[in-house]
Amino acid sequence: MTTTNNKPRLKKMVVNDIVSMKNKEKISVITSYDYWSAKICDNSGIDIILVGDSGGMVMLGYNSTVPVNMKEMLIFSKAVSLGTKRSLIVSDMPFGSYQVGIKHAVRNAIRFIKTGSDAVKLEGGIEIIDRIKAIKEVGIPVMGHIGLKPQTTKLWEGYRVQGNTAIGGSQLLKEAIELEKAGVFAIVLEMVTSEVADLISRNVKIPTIGIGSGPHCDGQVLVLHDMLNLYDNIKPRFVKTYTNLSETILNSIHNYITDVKTGKFPEDRHSYKIEDKEFERLVKMIKTLRKKLS
């Protein structure tokens, strides 16, 4: 789906493309919150760009995903949509944007679609089935999210691995099946034990997207800032760092400071020049002006 002879697929991804990848091709998902990174991710051939509520942490400095609001998420989503031509864009609905009631949830989901998003993602299981159905009924695709639910898990038990008991695993499987019945096109499994994630993936017909849930999911998602080592406030065990961009940027800025302090920057090639004749005219004009003022 993603590539043909190692060349990125040019056709705009739609939900049915993602669903059809189940058991055929692993689905690649990455987060983005702004125009420039969305453009790079889109050009890379990534299948899904997730405008995650994690943007509240990595972009705005919040200590969790809970404080981020609709206004902020809509700004992130709009910027990402402007930088994306091919990837499917899924936007996280932030805490408080769908818990109040069905009408409230539908209204906010519509706002995301108006910014250019292709789908929305809601955290929760059986307790939000009515919201998911209502959003889907107005034509908006929904991605589910179970396992660790950062918006609310911290309030109850903290950030802990999910599905590490028979009862816990059974409950997650039940929730996944109910989400599939409600009409979600894919389910994110966060910090679920590898065995349970495998069990869920084999028992639902829709793709599962893992984050810290082992290799058996139908796809994987990482936060862009984590994989590039741009955000080090939290370092989850499941993150694979592909480059140390933070160090690269830091070294570049240090070099810039040195060049400015020593006069190495800017050079002539970084500057603009006025034509000699125009400069001579300018000098004469200044002399005339000084005489008038003296």
Task: Give catalytic residue positions.
Answer: 190
CA-CA-CA-CA torsion sign (233, 236, 237, 238): negative
HSE-CB for 3 with a 13 A CA cutoff = 12
* Closest C-alpha to 255, from 265, 246, 240, 243: 265
Task: Measure the CA angle with vertex 283, ends 282 and 288; round to 5°.
Answer: 95
Please tell me the distance from the alpha carbon of residue 124 to that of residue 106, in angstroms, as a whole number. 16
Q: Which residues contact 292 (CB under 8 A, 6 or more apart)?
A: none
Contact 128, 149 (CB under 8 A): no
DSSP H or E segment with residue 28: strand 27-31
Contact 27, 219 (CB under 8 A): yes
> Would you state the structure tokens that stand for residue 182, as one six-digit string?
């409600």
Please write down the HEC assignment for all residues of 262-284: HCCCCCHHHCCCCCHHHHHHHHH
Contact 84, 35 (CB under 8 A): no
* Closest C-alpha to 110, from 149, 144, 70, 79: 70
